Homo-oligomer: A and B are copies of this chain.
Amino acid sequence: MALVVQKFGGTSVASIEHIERVAKRIAGYRDRGDEVVVVVSAMGKETDRLDELAKSVGDSDADFRREVDVLLSTGEQVTAAVLSMVLTKMGYPAKSFTGGQVKILTDASHTKARILDIDTDNLRRELSQGTVPVVAGFQGVDSDQNITTLGRGGSDTTAVALAVVLEAKECQIYTDVEGVFTTDPRVVDVAQPLATVTFEEMLELASQGSRVLHTRAVEFASKYKMPIRVLSSFSDAAGTLITNEESHNMEQPLISGIAFMKDEAQLMMLGVKDIPGIASRILGPISDANIEVDMIVQNVAADKSTDFTFTVRREDYERATAILESVAQEIGAREVTGDNKIAKLSIVGVGMKSHAGVATKMFKVLSEESINIQMISTSEIKISVVIEEKYLELAVRALHTAFGLDAS
């Protein structure tokens, strides 16, 4: 017998039939004697519908944000009520809670509020009576009882926060995929679900595109050492357990997964005088234009001049090039060049920290496939390379096999 927090996302509660399936899963845990606290998102596309209603009034003016929260929070409230009815009808007494009823105290930053405190009295009282509390995710109240919402991925954050304050055994996040994969299964069919992954790895994998769980919830869980299990509400697979601990499995491969990002572009300024402050002279005007810069690499050449390279989203390529050409004239750089048909690929794994050979192996695999590496950047648990986009799938497949990630 243990306490688990279970969060069901929009696709898991899209219809009455979906909600009945979710209820059966919860009932299974109750039958085994576990205590369950449930967190739900809005049904299917309900949040989109409410969002459009808000947008039909006008731009998201700061004055509107209080009311946007009042509007959006109804989506989760509806799901919580319906799931509570279904559970009660099945013989498992349940009770819905809005964020305010729990209560989940947040700051007053409407549409992107942060949780300050959670009162566990009401939930513990229901648990002690054998009731399943069904909490509307994504929402709270500020100290003046105004309804607030937590922004993107808010229901995941609600679930993790409740798991932390209730000292749950784990926080289960149900979604429409079977966990965290070695790489994006929509793109590469050799992708495999991972049994375990660390928070660090998860953050690297998620921020690179394997989105199953919001970064903010992962950071929160990592901070409070709350194990998260990501699993599908449509299957009985065990999903992926995300913890702070590295796996001690001897068979654990050196890397956990491969993340990638398409639709990137690379810009280079060649022959730049290597003097202090040159990087900000180059990147300042780019960020002033609200262009997001991802990888940055600088090499010092033999003649005391340097080549400066960085990547941006492909849609920003033309604007960034124009800005860079004007900067190049000012600072007397030799040439501006670029490539808008590139992709970024990263191998991620806590195992590589203690294995110097991982990078060498990666480069060798790519070279054997005659794939040219245009940029390299490394961190403790990640090695990222930029390659021509047309080779991306080939590269992922080759690395997936070489690092032992294919199904055995």
Residues of A at the B interface (CB closer than 8 Å) are 16, 50, 53-54, 56-58, 61, 63-64, 66-68, 70-71, 74, 77-78, 80-82, 84-86, 88-89, 93, 95-96, 98, 100-101, 145-147
Q: Are B89 and A61 in contact (CB under 8 A)?
A: yes
Asked whether B82 lies within 8 Å of A53 as measured between CB atoms, the reply is yes
Cβ-defined contact, B71 with A78, below 8 A: yes
Q: Which residues of B contact A61 (CB under 8 A)?
A: 88-89
| CB <8 Å contact, A50 and B71 | no
Q: How far is the CA of A82 from the CA of B98 in the complex (A)?
A: 20
Residue of B nearest to A72 (CB): B81
A64 touches B77 (CB 8 A): no
A74 — which chain B residues lie within 8 A by C-beta?
Answer: 74, 77-78
Question: Which 10 A/B pairs are nearest by Cβ-Cβ distance?
Answer: A74-B74, A70-B81, A71-B81, A67-B81, A57-B85, A67-B84, A67-B85, A16-B56, A64-B85, A70-B96
Given contacts A63-B89, A67-B82, 15 further A-B contacts (CB under 8 A): A50-B78, A57-B85, A58-B85, A58-B89, A63-B88, A63-B93, A64-B88, A67-B88, A68-B81, A70-B77, A70-B96, A70-B98, A71-B81, A98-B147, A101-B146
Judge whether A101 and B145 touch: CB under 8 Å.
Answer: yes
Q: How far is the CA of A81 from the CA of B86 in the complex (A)?
A: 29
Other-chain residue from B50, B66, B86, B93 in contact with A57 (beta carbon distance below 8 A): B86
Partner of A66, one of B16, B95, B145: B95
Identify which of A54, A58, A67 gathers the most chain B CB atoms within 10 Å of its CB: A67
Q: Which residues of B contact A95 (CB under 8 A)?
A: 66-67
In the bound complex, how far is the Cα of B43 from the Cα of A71, in angstroms? 13
A71 & B66 in contact (Cβ 8 Å cutoff): no
Q: Does A54 lie within 8 Å of B85, measured CB to CB?
A: yes
Residues in B whose Cβ lies below 8 Å from that of A93:
63
Which residues from B are CB-within-8-Å of A96? Answer: 66-67, 70
Nearest Cβ distance between residue A136 and chain B, in whole angstroms?
9
User: Are the CB atoms of A53 and B67 closer together than 8 Å?
Assistant: no
A146 to B54, CA, bound (A): 27
- Complex Cα spacing A64 to B84, Å: 8
Q: Which of B53, B89, B98 touches A78 (beta carbons < 8 Å)?
A: B53
A222 to chain B, nearest CB (A): 33
- A80/B70 contact (C-beta < 8 A), A16-B57, A57-B16 known: yes
Q: List 23 A-B contacts (CB under 8 A).
A: A16-B53, A16-B56, A16-B57, A53-B78, A54-B81, A54-B82, A54-B85, A57-B85, A58-B85, A61-B89, A63-B88, A63-B93, A64-B88, A67-B95, A67-B96, A70-B81, A70-B84, A70-B96, A70-B98, A71-B78, A71-B82, A74-B74, A100-B145
